[in-house]
Structure formats: C-alpha cells, structure tokens
Amino acid sequence: MPNKIRNEFIIRLLIPTALMAAGLLYLGSLWDARMREQNLILIQPVVVLMIPFYLAAIFFEYRRYMREMASARTAAVDSTPERDPEESAVQQMPRAVRNQAIFMGMAAVSVVGFYVLGAIPATLLMILAGLLILGVRRPIILVGAPLITTLVLWAIFVEMFGIRMLLFPSF
Amino acid sequence: MFDYAMLAQGFTSLFDWNLLWLMPLGMLYGMVVSAIPGMSGSLAIALVMPFTFHLSALQAIIFLSSIFTGSVHGGSIPAILLNMPGSPASAATVFDGFKLAREGKHNEAQGLAIGASTMGSLFGCILVLCLLHPIAQFALLFGPVEMLMVGVFALTIIASFKGESIPKGILAGLFGLLLGTVGVSWGREYRATFGSLWLIDGLPVIPVLLGLLALPGLFALTTEQFVVTNELLRRPDVSKIAQGFWESTRYRIVVLRSTLIGVIVGALPAAGSSVASLLAWNDTKNSIKGNKLGDGDPRGVVASEAANNSSEMGSTAVMLALGIPGGGATAIMLGAFLIHGLVPGPRLLSENLHFGYAIFLAEFAQMAMMPFFAVLVLACANYIVKVPNRVLMPIVLAVTCWGVFATRETFFDIGILVGFGIVGFIMQKYGYPVLALLLGFILAEILEPEMIRATATFGYWDLPIQILTRPISLALLVLTVLSLVYLMRNRDALPDEN
C-alpha cells in the first residue's frame, strides 16, 4: 500500500512539473526571438504566473501524500484478516481499467493507421479492434458495426460532402 | 427605431415559395451536420456554399442563416447525449447537459436545450431587430483595450473550475493560455510548431476541444455498460422532451440575461459563440444562490444554449451593419454576400435595409420551425443511449476521427484529437480541470492579439491608465474584480467538475 501511494505521489508530482517545464522550455525557446516584446507579451507573464501556482500544486500534493501515508499506516495497524466486502469489486476493477488503457493505446495506434493504411481500412480496423478490446464477441456485431459505420461515413463525408481523403493505402 | 417602409418591403420579399423548402432544409441539414462531433456550423455552411450560386442573394443568405441557426442548436445533441460538444459553441452545454443525461434525464435536457435555443434566438432576434443600429454603434466602441478586458473578464471563469484544488485549476488554465499561443506569432516567429506546416496557424480548436472534453469521457465510459444506467430511463420520450421544453420557460430571467450576454459577445469581433456561452454559464452560476451548476443543473443548459443561439443574432447584426464577421460562420456568409454582388460594410444596410430586415424576419420563421425539427432529429438521436457502450464507443471514436479530419482535411488533426484526449484523461484522473485548460486555450486567441494592439496603440505604461479611464473597460474591470471576490468567497462551494 505505501508503495502504491508513493508511486502515485511521484506521478502526481510529474504532471505539474511537466506543465511547468513545458512552459519554461517554451519561454526559453523564444527568448532570443525577433520582436521579443510582441512574441512574449502573453507568454512571459503567464509562465511567471505559473511558478507560484506550480509550487502551490506541489505543496498540495505533498500534503495529500503525507495524509494518505498516515492513514495507510493507521489502517495497517488496525487491519484484521477479515475480507472487505468491497474487495471482490476492487479486484474486478483492473480488468476494466486495463481494457480502458488498451483502448486508449489502440486509439493512438489507429492515428498511424490512418496515415499508413488510408481512412477506410484504418476505420474498419479501429472499430473492430475497439469492439474486441471492450469484450464484444458476437460475430454479427464484429462484422456489421465496422462495415456499416465505415460505409455510412464514406457516403456522408466523401460522396455527399466531397471531402478529399486518402481512402486506401497509397503504396 | 424601425423604418416601416423598409420593414414592409423586407416582409414582402419573404413571399417566395423557394424559401418554403430552403429554410426547413437548411435547418435540418445544419442540425444533422453539427450533431456529428467535429463538424461545426461554419464547416456545414462552407460545404453547401457552391449550391447557393444558383440562388438569388436573399434566398442564399436565408438558406445559409437557416443552416447557421440549425447548427448552433445541433451541437447540443451530442453534448448532452455523449459528453461531446458537436461544435465549440456547445462546450458549456456539456457541463450540466451530460450530467443530466447520466441521471436518465437526457430527454428533459434536450427539451431544455430546444426551449432555451428557441427563446434565446427569439429574444436575441427581437433585440437585434429593434436595436440593429445601436448594437452596431456599440460594437464600434470596442477597441483593443475593451476587447482585452473582455478576455480578462472571461479569464475569471478559470478560477471557477478548481479540480482537486484551486492552484491546479489555475495552473491548467495558464497552461491552456500557452497552448493558445502556438503557431506563427504577430512577430512572424514560429512558436512550438516543431517544423509542422499544420501548426503554423496554431493548434486547431475543434480537435483540441473534442480531445479535451469528449475523449476523456469516452475513455471513461468504456468501463461502464451504458451511458444511462437505469434501463427504464433510456427510452426516447417525446413527452419528456416537451416537459423539458416547458421547464425552460420557467427560467426566463436566466434566458434573458444569457440572451443579452450572447447578443453583446456575439457582436464583438472574434469573441464567438463559445465565449458567449461560457460567459453566460459563469454569470448564471455566480448570480444564483445555492445552484448546482456544473453538477447537472437545468439552468446550466438553459444559459449556455440561450447564449450561443443569441450570439448568432449579434454576430449577424454586426456582419450586416459593419461587414465585420463575429466568427467563422459569419465570415463564410460574408463570402456569400460577395458572390451575390453585395459588398459587406456600413453601406450595405444603408442601401439595402429591407434586405437586413428580411433576414431577421426569416429568423422568426426559423424559430417557429426549430422545435419541430429538433424533435425530429432527437427522435433518432436519442436511441444512441440504448446502445451498449462497448459497441457505441468504438463507433463514436471513428465518427469523431472523420469529423475532425473534415475541417482541414488532414490526418494530423486526428493525431491532435487523440493526443489531447490522452492528455485530458490523465489530467482529469489526477485532479486537473480540463475545462480550465480549454478556456485558457480559447481565450489566448483573443487576449494575445488584443494585448499587442493595445500596447502598440497606447504603450505599456499608458495601458493601465487607459483601462481605468475608458468607461467600458473600467466597467469590465469592476466586473472582473467582483467576479473574483465572489469566487474566492465561495470557493468551497465550487464544483469539482472532474
């Protein structure tokens, strides 16, 4: 439990630090820009203003970490071998969370799919993969949903609106 | 106030049988297209522009304004049902609309949106029709200092999204401001474009908006069975839509205030309907004691929808009176004016006043049609909540990807959508309000150019004096301070929208 809290604390510190670092890097990249006053008119005060709020966010996370560690220690002392009634529900959570993470990963990969395969194969594969990841096993849905959705999208966007897009692989 | 001869001439010019099918078609088309996440009203107008070449000027403009009216409302449909604003104008509708849908009140929420849209447009139309000339003159009073203060005032909304803590909310908002400055600057400097041509104009609004607002919700919904948990509440129900419609008439004060905000903000160049709806939502939240705005309060939907629809009236009024577009859709409509031989600018109304009156009189007809077409579209759209999430979510993701692609015809925007979706999901998970980030991003597009204009005109050291000595900017400054004081005093009651 303390390890989990510590890991989460590290992630919680990383997020504001990443935002602050991105802001500082952005400001630094424009420091020698031509017409600096105009280029930095908003960026400079915003980055300067970010610093106190970054520190406040870090302080907030530290206080939270200390509070959680204290309650974890208390819970460890008070713990009994009896099973928590919510434990089974908690144990089921990782599967849903894992599927969610895989679904997000699939969404990221499908962006590459659009470039490499073209819109139609990428859409078919994206929907099919999404359905499989989220646990759909009925063949009619696995075949029908990607096909019908892609066909409708193609008819609306390409045929009706005349939007130009790479539909199939260009190689 | 009125030129009755011109008003009568405008009215008679509406007796054209072609308008009988052009207006309903435009409304329906606007609603359906903007109900697709990623497809905005301006895109819907741009796509049909070539078809208007064969129409007369009045037919074309009324057809396009029907699309505009339909599209502003249409964006609320996915905002309520799927937590995905169909267009940036519906961003504030998400806050309360989706929460109501989760409680099984999606029919009522849609009814509220229809009622507020209709009343907002109606009041806005009456206001603009009566005050066409003064509104145009008032918009001319907004110089860079006043526009800068509009942006600063709108920034106070960031403080109302606290997430886990207020510093986190403000940090997210400030980071959003930085994101809004990406692209080629006024000083011709390439800022954080990483050599990509697609970032020269900055980060595109629609993929960022959908990425931050819609995708985290979509990812979160994958762990649940249905959008609406209670099976009995999933059914589309026209009587409940009607109930929501009538309920919206109870909030007349909210509608009137939001309409006024919508018309004024819509009249300001580049402010846009998204800023109008956010300001109206924030105003409603600050003005009503004991409200639950941000947590499924019907008044949130009413304020947002009334403001974004009435902002359309404000922007159309200024477009007609001065030839200045208030947003993307009116900018494209200005192109339609030129195509049909009408030169936009102050002389347009002085020489063709009947034309301006005809456009606003046609808006009344559109108001009357809106509830019927909205119910027609909803009768189909509300079935979405009956589809299990594990089937619905991959399809919605695919539709969003295509919708986002359509704006600039590049797969790069799909990358931005998914990238911001993942960033938004992580930020939400760790207590950062993505709405603050989004608001900062939207407002940077107003703040930076106006700061440059204001300092170029008055200099750095004279700017505070100008703010304090100009009546409009001073009034906005007072409002900003009052808003901040109110938020600080009530910070414990602020909702954690995560």
Q: What is the pLDDT along chain B (498 residues), one digit of tens a residue?
A: 667 777 788 888 888 888 888 899 999 988 888 887 767 777 788 778 777 777 888 888 899 889 988 888 888 888 888 888 877 788 888 888 888 888 888 888 989 999 999 999 888 888 887 776 676 667 677 788 888 888 888 787 777 666 678 888 889 999 999 999 998 887 778 888 888 888 888 898 888 888 887 788 788 888 878 777 666 666 777 888 888 888 888 888 899 999 998 888 887 765 677 788 888 888 888 887 777 777 888 899 999 999 988 888 888 887 777 676 666 677 777 777 777 777 766 667 767 778 888 888 888 888 888 888 888 888 777 777 788 888 988 998 898 899 888 878 888 999 999 999 999 889 888 888 888 888 888 888 888 888 888 888 888 888 889 889 998 889 888 888 887 787 777 665 554 444
pLDDT digits (tens, 9 = 90+) for A125-155: 999 999 999 888 999 999 999 999 999 999 9
Note whether A54 and A117 are same-domain residues.
Answer: no
Note whether A60 and A113 are same-domain residues.
Answer: no
Residue A148, chain B, CB below 8 Å: the answer is no
Q: What is the ipTM of this complex?
A: 0.87
Note whether A105 and A71 are same-domain residues.
Answer: no
Note whether A51 and A110 are same-domain residues.
Answer: no
Q: Quick one: three-class SS letters along chain B?
A: CCCHHHHHHHHHCCCCHHHHHHHHHHHHHHHHHHCCCCCCHHHHHHHHHHHHHHCCHHHHHHHHHHHHHHHHHHCHHHHHHHCCCCCHHHHHHHHHHHHHHHCCCHHHHHHHHHHHHHHHHHHHHHHHHHCHHHHHHHHHCCCHHHHHHHHHHHHHHHHHCCCCCHHHHHHHHHHHHHHCCCEECCCCCEECCCCCHHHCCCCCHHHHHHHHHHHHHHHHHCCCCCCCCCHHHHCCCHHHHHHHHHHHHHHHHHHHHHHHHHHHHHHCCCCHHHHHHHHHHHHHHHHCCCCCCCCCCHHHHHHHHHHHHHHHHHHHHHHHHHCCCCCHHHHHHHHHHHHCCCCCCHHHHHHCHHHHHHHHHHHHHHHHHHHHHHHHHHHHHHHHHHCCHHHHHHHHHHHHHHHHHHHHCCCHHHHHHHHHHHHHHHHHHCCCCHHHHHHHHHHHHHHHHHHHHHHHHHCCCCHHHHHHHCHHHHHHHHHHHHHHHHHHHCHHHCCCCC
Cβ contact (<8 Å) for A162 and B192?
Answer: no
Model pLDDT, residue B393: 87
Pairwise CA distance, residues B110 & B233, whole Å? 14
Cβ contact (<8 Å) for B168 and A60?
Answer: yes
Tokens 């109304």 -> residue:
B349
Note whether A133 and A158 are same-domain residues.
Answer: yes
Tokens 């509070």 -> residue:
A67
- Asked if B243 contacts B111 with a C-beta cutoff of 8 angstroms, the reply is yes
Residue A136 lies in a domain: yes
- Asked if B255 contacts B114 with a C-beta cutoff of 8 angstroms, the reply is no
Of A41, A114, A164, the CB nearest to B414: A114
Number of domains in chain B: 1
Beta strand B190-191 pairing with B183-184: antiparallel
- Asked if B63 contacts B93 with a C-beta cutoff of 8 angstroms, the reply is no
Pairwise CA distance, residues B241 & A39, whole Å? 50
Domain that holds residue B308: 4-493
Tokens of B323: 């030839």
pTM exceeds cut of 0.90: no
- B161: which chain A residues are within 8 Å (Cβ-Cβ)? none
Cβ under 8 Å to B: A residues 120-139: 123, 126-127, 129-131, 134-136
Of A19, A39, A129, the CB nearest to B175: A19
Residues contacting residue B341 through CB under 8 Å, at least 6 positions apart? B57
Half-sphere exposure of B216 (CA within 13 A, CB side): 22
Number of domains in chain A: 2
Note whether A131 and A169 are same-domain residues.
Answer: yes
Model pLDDT, residue B270: 59
Chosen domain end from A45, A80, A115: A80
A69 Cα to chain B: minimum distance (Å): 18
- A33: which chain B residues are within 8 Å (Cβ-Cβ)? 185, 187, 189
Model pLDDT, residue B498: 45
Note whether A64 and A137 are same-domain residues.
Answer: no
Note whether A68 and A12 are same-domain residues.
Answer: yes
Q: How would you label B124-143 residue by residue, b for 16+ Cβ within 10 Å and e otherwise?
A: bbebbbeebeebbeebeebb
- A107: which chain B residues are within 8 Å (Cβ-Cβ)? 215, 397, 418, 421-422
Tokens of B188: 């011709």
> pLDDT confidence of A10, banded at 50, 70, 90?
very high
Residue A86 lies in a domain: no
Chosen domain end from A80, A102, A123: A80
Q: How far is CA B266 from CA A85, B12, B138, B259, B325, in A?
A: 55, 28, 12, 10, 9
Task: List the single residue in B with minimal CA-CA distance to A101.
Answer: B219
Model pLDDT, residue A171: 63
Note whether A103 and A74 are same-domain residues.
Answer: no
Cβ contact (<8 Å) for B178 and A43?
Answer: yes
- Asked if B333 contacts B342 with a C-beta cutoff of 8 angstroms, the reply is no
Model pLDDT, residue A55: 95
Tokens 């509608």 -> residue:
B255
Residues contacting residue B105 through CB under 8 Å, at least 6 positions apart? B233, B240, B244, B296
Model pLDDT, residue A124: 95
- Asked if A113 contacts A121 with a C-beta cutoff of 8 angstroms, the reply is yes
Count of residues for chain A?
171
- B210: which chain A residues are within 8 Å (Cβ-Cβ)? none
Note whether A25 and A64 are same-domain residues.
Answer: yes
Q: How many beta-carbon contacts under 8 Å exist across A and B?
A: 172
Pairwise CA distance, residues B66 & B46, whole Å? 13
Pairwise CA distance, residues B241 & B375, whole Å? 8
Note whether A110 and A171 are same-domain residues.
Answer: yes
Residue B498 lies in a domain: no
Tokens of B54: 């064969």
Pairwise CA distance, residues B117 & B255, whole Å? 9
Residue A85 lies in a domain: no
Residue A99, chain B, CB below 8 Å: the answer is yes
Cβ under 8 Å to A: B residues 200-229: 215, 219-220, 222-223
How large is the average pLDDT for residues A55-76? 89
> pLDDT confidence of A91, banded at 50, 70, 90?
low
Chosen domain end from A80, A102, A132: A80
- A5: which chain B residues are within 8 Å (Cβ-Cβ)? none
Residue A40 lies in a domain: yes
Cβ under 8 Å to B: A residues 52-71: 53-54, 56-57, 60
Residue A111 lies in a domain: yes
Domain that holds residue A66: 1-80
Note whether A28 and A99 are same-domain residues.
Answer: no
Pairwise CA distance, residues B276 & B310, whole Å? 9
Longest Cα pair distance anywhere in chain A, in angstroms?
69
Residue A160 lies in a domain: yes
